[in-house]
Amino acid sequence: MNSGGEASAIQVRGILLEKFYISGGKPLTGKVSIGGAKNAAVAILPAALLADGPCTIHNLPYIDDVICLADILKEIGAKVNLNKRGEAYVESSTVTQYKASYDMVKQMRASYYLLGVLLGKFGKAEIPLPGGCEIGARPIDQHIKGFEALGANVVIEHGVVKASAKKLIGNEVYLDVVSVGATINIMFAAVKAEGSTTIVNAAKEPHVVDVANFLNSMGANVKGAGTDTIRIKGVDRLNGCEYTIIPDQIEAGTFMVAAAATAGDVVVADVIPKHMESITAKLLEMGIEVIEGDDYIRVRGIQKPRRVNIKTLPYPGFPTDLQQPISVICSIAKGTSIIHESLFDHRFRHVEELRRMGANIKVEDRTAIFEGVDGLSGAPVTATDLRAGAALIIAGLVANGVTEIDNIHFIDRGYERIEEKLTALGADIRRVKDGDKPLKVLLGSSNSAR
Ligand code: UD1
């Protein structure tokens, strides 16, 4: 059993074979509340180990990746109490290990944050190369370059990254590519290093800023997060603190796209609209109505969205994590839409599944060309990664008939209670365990949303 007595992510993945069944064709309507940011949570939770005192973290999404990370922290000796309300108490004084096992870290990519954290805390870390979504090559050379610039010796032996330093000393690190993970990991190694570190060409994502704010709440001196130059003055010690994580930009974007795709009318609440600008801009370009409030965004879809061109880019550009969800709107928009994926080389694996549902999409290298069709039809499909899974849910909501989605453990990695939230918006979506009789539990007829 894991934190709070709940079934652990590993147990969940190991035992339950579940599917989603969606009876599509209904516009989503109502209000949905967005949870804490996954990509901030998976960095902030391990970062709590850098403090000498306990940390209390609020607004964590209660998703498999967070549950799994809590288990990894416990495995290396931390006291972690995570509950379903998204609060975690992390006490690091009992952490004695600077190693984590392959069985644990292979479950999730963000386990690479233990490298920066344990290196910063103990001057030593041994972490197997991380797992995570199969969306293409995901090297960590920039993380390693940063650790080495701070004086660490880094080797990879038998699939384990081993980093050690007698003393970490601040330096300037220029990132060759804008990397979220490397920016955050170098911050972790640098917060307690001697002297100053400057990260040039740093990632500017909202969760990079959130992590910097968390470190500063513990007494760190990090300035410039949110710009491409981050300056860190090392401090001797960090205190425990209490911190609330920002809303999830990608969950919010997923619901905005789902509202638009189903020609629905949804208030996406508890968000930071500024973080949503790139997605808002694209929806507006497609003729969809988007109304911004202080902490909500209302999306009102239309029957036939206009074509669009999208290129994924680091923040504030269009996020690669929303490329797959928005491809569903491109599939049914009027005319030819083009999506260019500039960050990852295998992020069109959902296209094959969308084709099974009637979409007309050609992929050439990292570019997908969509000839908009009149509608999608339900089919059995397989989620190949987290955001591909989100895209297939949206496609299922749009389609006529029943869509059966396999491999939904990918979706559970990053979306909390997604079927409950969608059901509250009027969707007909059921989680079905292996052996259940799925079609009998589905609600009745599907009315075309478009
Ligand atoms: C994070 C997010 C992921 C998101 C991605 C891009 C987390 C846990 N995951 O992943 O959801 O899709 O940012 O916004 O926060 N790269 C290198 N060398 C490196 C590191 C990265 O070449 O050392 C390249 C990658 O191959 C990729 C690009 O840089 O092309 C961006 O990757 P990065 O920002 O590091 O992604 P992640 O941190 O893995």
**253, 276 in Cβ contact below 8 A?**
yes
- Whether pLDDT at 184 is above 80: yes
Distance between Cα 29 and ligand 1 center (Å): 34
> Is the CB of 46 inside a 6 Å radius of any atom of ligand 1?
no
For ligand 1, atom 5, name the residue with the nearest CA.
180
Spell 405-439 as b/e; 16+ CB within 10 A means b.
bbbbbbbbbbbbebbebbeebebbbbbbeeeeebe
The answer, yes or no, to whether any atom of ligand 1 lies below 6 A from the CB of 161, is no
pTM of the model: 0.93
Nearest-atom index, ligand 1, CA of 143: 23
Q: Is 141 in the pocket of ligand 1 (CB under 6 A)?
A: yes
Rounded to the nearest angstrom, the distance between the alpha carbon of 203 and the centre of ligand 1 is: 10
Mean pLDDT of 66-80: 94
- How many Cα atoms sit within 13 Å of 103 on the Cβ side? 8
Please write the tens of the pLDDT for every residue from 13-62. Answer: 444 689 999 999 999 999 999 999 999 999 999 999 999 999 999 999 99
In ligand 1, the atom with minimum distance to the C-alpha of 144 is 23
Is 133 in the active site?
A: yes
Give me the pLDDT at residue 135, please.
57
Expressed in angstroms and rounded, the spacing between residue 238 Cα and the centre of ligand 1 is 27
Q: What is the pLDDT of residue 131?
A: 59
Ligand 1: which residue has its CA nearest to atom 39? 181
User: In 3D, which of 145, 156, 79, 152 has the Cα closest to residue 118?
Assistant: 152
Give the pLDDT of residue 435.
64
| pLDDT one-digit tens code per residue, 335-359 | 999 999 999 988 999 999 999 999 9
Q: Ligand 1 centre from 137 Cα, in Å?
A: 10
